[in-house]
Structure 1
Amino acid sequence: MRRIGTAVRHPFRVLRSVLPGAAIGLITAALAVGVGELAAVWSGPNTAPAIAVGSAAIDLTPTPLKEFAVRNFGTSDKLVLLTGIYTTLGAIAVAAGILAMRRPVVGLVLVALFGFVGAWAALSRPAARFGDVWPSVLAALAGVGAMALLVGSAQAARMPVPASGDDELEAKRSDAEALEPKDPEAKDPEAIQPSLASHLPPWARDRRGFIALAAGTAGAAALTGLTGRTMVNQRYNVALKRSRVRIPAPSRLAPALPADVHPNVAGLSSFMTSNSDFYRVDTALVLPQVDPDAWTLRIRGLVDRPLELSFADLLARPLVEHDQTLSCVSNEVGGPYVGTARWIGASLADLLREAGVRRGADQLVGRSVDGMTIGTPVESVLDGRTGLLAVAMNGEPLPVAHGFPCRMLVPGFFGYASATKWLVDLELTTFADYDPYWVRRGWSRLGPVKTASRIDVPKPFAHVAAGPVTAAGVAWATHRGIDAVEVRCDAGPWRLAALTPSDSPDTWRQWTCELDLAAGLHRLEVRATDASGAVQPEARADTFPDGATGWHSVVITAD
Structure 2
Amino acid sequence: MSVAHLLAAASNASSSPVLAVGYAVIDHTPTAVKDWAIAHFGTKDKPLLLGTVALVVVVATALIGLLAGRRKAWGAVGLAALAAVPAWAVMTRPSARIVDLGPTLVAFVVGIGVMLLLLRLSPSPTPSEEADMTEPGRRVFVGGVLGSLALSGLAVAAGQTLLQAASTAKLSLPRAWRRATPIPAGFERRNPAITPLRTPNESFYRVDTALTVPQVERESWTLTIDGDVHRRVTFTYDDIAAMKLVEKNITMTCVSNEVGGEYVGGATWLGVPVRRLLAEAGIKEPHRADAQVLSTSTDGFTAGTPLAAMLDDRDALLAIGMNGEPLPRRHGFPARLVVPGLYGMIGSTKWVTKLTVTTFAEHQAYWTQRGWSHDAPIKPSARIDSPSSLAQVKRGVIKVGGIAWAQRSGVRGVQVRLDGGPWRDAELGPEVNEDFWRQWMYRLDASSLPTGQHTVSARVIDADGDTQTAERAPVFPDGSSGLQEQVFFLT
Same topology, TM > 0.5: yes
Give the structure 2 partner of residue 93 of structure 1: 61
Q: Distance in 1 between matches of 2:399 and 2:467?
A: 23
Q: Match for 1:523 among 455, 465, 471?
A: 455
| Residues 1:445 and 2:413 are matched in the alignment | no
| Residues 1:147 and 2:121 are matched in the alignment | no
Q: Match for 2:224 among 295, 298, 311?
A: 298
Q: Distance in 2 between matches of 1:530 and 1:262?
A: 22
Give the structure 1 partner of residue 125 of structure 2: 159
| Residues 1:545 and 2:477 are matched in the alignment | yes
Give the structure 2 partner of residue 239 of structure 1: 166
- Residue 439 of structure 1, CA deviation: 0.5
- Residue 275 of structure 1, CA deviation: 0.6
Paired residue secondary structure (1:345): strand
Paired residue secondary structure (2:201): coil
- Residue 451 of structure 1, CA deviation: 0.8
- Residue 53 of structure 1, CA deviation: 1.0
Q: Distance in 2 between matches of 1:267 and 1:376?
A: 35
> Could you give the per-residue CA deviations for residues 240-266 of structure 1, whole angstroms, max 9, x where no partner exists?
6x3453111101011133455656212
| Residues 1:407 and 2:336 are matched in the alignment | yes
| Residues 1:395 and 2:318 are matched in the alignment | no
Give the structure 2 partner of residue 188 of structure 1: none
> Which structure 2 residue ranges, 5 or more long, are not aligned?
none
Q: Distance in 2 between matches of 1:78 and 1:329?
A: 18
- Residue 237 of structure 1, CA deviation: 6.2
Aligned length: 485
**1:367 counterpart letter in structure 2:** T
Question: Does the aligned pair in 2 maintain the 1:345–1:391 contact within 8 Å?
Answer: yes
Question: Does the aligned pair in 2 maintain the 1:409–1:418 contact within 8 Å?
Answer: yes
- Residue 222 of structure 1, CA deviation: 3.3
**1:80 counterpart letter in structure 2:** L
Q: What are the residue-to-residue correspondences of 1:305-320 with 2, within 5 Å?
A: 305-320=231-246
> Which structure 1 residue ranges, 5 or more long, are not aligned?
1-32, 162-169, 182-206
Question: Does the aligned pair in 2 maintain the 1:388–1:408 contact within 8 Å?
Answer: yes
Rg larger for: 1
**1:106 counterpart letter in structure 2:** W
- Residue 232 of structure 1, CA deviation: 6.8
Question: Does the aligned pair in 2 maintain the 1:37–1:224 contact within 8 Å?
Answer: no
| Residues 1:122 and 2:90 are matched in the alignment | yes
**1:44 counterpart letter in structure 2:** N
| Residues 1:489 and 2:421 are matched in the alignment | no
Shift in CA distance, 326/158, structure 1 to aligned 2, threshold 3 Å: closer
Q: What are the residue-to-residue correspondences of 1:248-259 with 2, within 5 Å?
A: 248-259=174-185
Give the structure 2 partner of residue 219 of structure 1: 147
Shift in CA distance, 210/467, structure 1 to aligned 2, threshold 3 Å: closer
Shift in CA distance, 151/231, structure 1 to aligned 2, threshold 3 Å: closer
Q: What are the residue-to-residue correspondences of 1:77-92 with 2, within 5 Å?
A: 77-92=45-60
Which range moves more in the overlay, 511-520 or 401-410? 511-520
Q: Distance in 2 between matches of 1:332 and 1:151?
A: 53
- Residue 129 of structure 1, CA deviation: 1.1
Q: Distance in 1 between matches of 2:141 and 2:50?
A: 29
Which range moves more in the overlay, 224-233 or 428-437? 224-233
Give the structure 1 partner of residue 103 of structure 2: 135
Paired residue secondary structure (1:98): helix
Question: Does the aligned pair in 2 maintain the 1:38–1:224 contact within 8 Å?
Answer: no
Paired residue secondary structure (1:292): coil
Question: Does the aligned pair in 2 maintain the 1:412–1:480 contact within 8 Å?
Answer: no
Shift in CA distance, 444/106, structure 1 to aligned 2, threshold 3 Å: same
Paired residue secondary structure (1:87): helix
Shift in CA distance, 357/60, structure 1 to aligned 2, threshold 3 Å: same
Which range moves more in the overlay, 57-66 or 427-436? 57-66
Give the structure 1 partner of residue 468 of structure 2: 536
Q: Distance in 1 between matches of 2:189 and 2:251?
A: 18
Shift in CA distance, 317/388, structure 1 to aligned 2, threshold 3 Å: same
Q: Match for 1:461 among 387, 390, 395?
A: 390
> Could you give the per-residue CA deviations for residues 307-337 of structure 1, whole angstroms, max 9, x where no partner exists?
1111011000001011000010001110110
> Could you give the per-residue CA deviations for residues 70-123 of structure 1, whole angstroms, max 9, x where no partner exists?
111111111111111111111111222223223443332221112111111111
**1:219 counterpart letter in structure 2:** G
Question: Does the aligned pair in 2 maintain the 1:112–1:141 contact within 8 Å?
Answer: no
Paired residue secondary structure (2:25): helix
Q: Distance in 1 between matches of 2:169 and 2:191?
A: 35
| Residues 1:58 and 2:16 are matched in the alignment | no
Q: CA RMSD in A?
A: 2.2
Question: Does the aligned pair in 1 maintain the 2:183–2:198 contact within 8 Å?
Answer: no
**2:166 counterpart letter in structure 1:** A
Q: Distance in 2 between matches of 1:245 and 1:253?
A: 20
Paired residue secondary structure (2:476): coil
Question: Does the aligned pair in 1 maintain the 2:250–2:340 contact within 8 Å?
Answer: yes
TM-score normalized by the length of structure 2: 0.93
- Residue 34 of structure 1, CA deviation: 2.6
> Could you give the per-residue CA deviations for residues 462-514 of structure 1, whole angstroms, max 9, x where no partner exists?
12222322210111122221112111101111111111232000000111112
Paired residue secondary structure (2:214): coil
Shift in CA distance, 259/101, structure 1 to aligned 2, threshold 3 Å: closer
Give the structure 2 partner of residue 27 of structure 1: none
Shift in CA distance, 39/58, structure 1 to aligned 2, threshold 3 Å: same
Q: Distance in 2 between matches of 1:443 and 1:350?
A: 29
**2:484 counterpart letter in structure 1:** H
TM-score normalized by the length of structure 1: 0.82
Question: Does the aligned pair in 2 maintain the 1:320–1:344 contact within 8 Å?
Answer: yes
Question: Does the aligned pair in 2 maintain the 1:263–1:510 contact within 8 Å?
Answer: no
Question: Does the aligned pair in 2 maintain the 1:37–1:229 contact within 8 Å?
Answer: no
